[in-house]
Structure formats: C-alpha cells, structure tokens
Amino acid sequence: MKDYKTHMGSLFLTSLAKKLGRATLQHIRSLASGIFAHAVNVGVIESNPWHDVKVLGKTKEPGETAHYTLQEAEDIISALVEHVDCQLIVALAFFLGLRPGEIQGLRWEDIDSDPDEQGLRWIHIRRAVARNVIGETKTTSSVASLPLIAPVLIPLNLWRAKRGNPVEGWLFPNAKSKPVDLRSVIGRTIVPTLAAKKIEWKTLYAGRRGAATILTQLTGDALAAKELLRHKNIAVTTDKYVKAIPRLC
C-alpha cells in the first residue's frame, strides 16, 4: 500500500470507463478511497493516494433503467398463477417497493397476524440478505413498517396456506431452511414462465421503479413514493426511480 500512487488509481478507473457507468465508477472510487483512508487512520500509510484520483477521459453515459406499468405488473402476476410464491415476490416489489434483499430477508414473524384498530395488517422490514449473507437493511431509514394492501395480501395468504400456515421461519426458504436465492427463483421459474407467454421480464428493481412512478402519478408529487421506497432524500426518488409520466388528457 505504501507504493500505491494517485496516478495508478486514475489509470485503473480510466481503464474501466469504457464498459462501466459513472455511478459504478464512483462506487469503485469510494470503496478504494475508504480502504486507503482506513490504512491512514491505523498508521499503515501517511496519506490517501485515492483522494485526487480521477477518470482521465469521458465516461460511459448511464443507460435508461426499466420500470413496469401497472398493467405490466398485473399481467406478470396473472401469468404466474401456478407459482404463488413468485406472484408474492413480484407483488412485494411492485406494490410495496421492496428491494430484492429485503424480500429475501422476510420472516413470517415480520407479518402481523391480526388487523390493527384501523383494520390494517402490516409487514415490518427489519433485515436484508445480500449475497446470501443475512444482515442489516441498506440504510437505517429502510427499516420500516408498511401496510399490507390487497394485491399483496391475497398472494401472501395463498402462499401461507400452501406452506401449511407457518407462524415463524423464512417467508421464502430454500431446501436448507435458509433464505432462498431470488436469482435462482427468477432464472428457474419466473423468466421461463413469462417467456412462454411472451411477457418481458425487466428485473425486480423495475417493479420498485414502477411503484414509485405510479404513486407519483396518482398523488401529483414524489413524496409518497419517497416514503414507500424509504429514501432519505427525495432527489434519489425523483432522479433514479420515478420514470416519465404520460400526460393525462
């Protein structure tokens, strides 16, 4: 680490610029800078060579991210009628805006069994799974309770009944009673089922963007979408998740 120089980091980032977007490059830069900053703080090196690292040239323009319309989400859920667990996974992403890791991290204990005084049942986001490691949510603001609306509650009840009405354990367990890898569920079941019916799959995050877009369209601003997606800053919601909203005649 003592031999690492600023120009090495700049050349490294520049070599990645042709195939990676700006956001990814920034994540790499932040990670590398954090590693060297820690080395400075524990006395391994005197200064952080990544402090002034830059990309020496143009960066790749970020591509347009996909989202689902309400009709597309409903078509997907209908097409997955023989796979109620997959219906629930899609509903959690589109109607409640959950991240894939948050869906993997759900347990039956996180779901209220009985309605509250207002007649609502709630789902509590308490953890997430990343690369099959159970841990905390992405941010502290991601820990939240969300009301279970009908499009989610219906497949949830069907899935619970199919599993034998469990009251504890992972919502989507694998054969070893650990959180299932959603990538395997998507690749093994969701994508082939939709492909057979000529329905495009755009990823679970497209459902999260769809939720933000629909809420913004219905309410006239992005505040409700920010609260559902549990972002700290509304700019993240508007810049990254709310897609173009068509004008209503």
Domains and CATH numbers, the chain: 6-52 (no CATH), 70-225 (1.10.443.10)
Contact 213, 245 (CB under 8 A): yes
In three-state secondary structure terms, 122 is strand
What is residue 245's predicted lDDT score, i.e. its pLDDT?
Answer: 55
Q: What is the 3-state secondary structure (H, E, C) of 77-113?
A: HHHCCCCHHHHHHHHHHHHCCCCHHHHHCCEHHHECC
* 123 membership: H or E segment, kind and range: strand 122-125
Give the global pTM.
0.80
- Segment 148-185, tens digit of pLDDT: 999 999 999 999 999 999 999 999 999 999 999 999 99
Counting residues of the chain whose pLDDT is more than 70, the rounded percentage is 96
What is residue 244's predicted lDDT score, i.e. its pLDDT?
Answer: 67
Separation of alpha carbons 84 and 69, rounded Å: 21
Q: How many CB atoms lie within 10 A of CB 12?
A: 15
- Average pLDDT of span 224-230: 91
Tokens 């953890």 found at: 127
- Segment 35-68, tens digit of pLDDT: 999 999 999 999 999 999 999 988 766 667 889 9
Contact 166, 160 (CB under 8 A): yes
DSSP, residue by residue, 130-175: ETTEEE--SSGGG-EEEE--HHHHHHHHHHHHHTT--SSSBSSB-T
- Segment 88-131, tens digit of pLDDT: 999 999 999 999 999 999 999 999 988 888 888 999 999 999 98
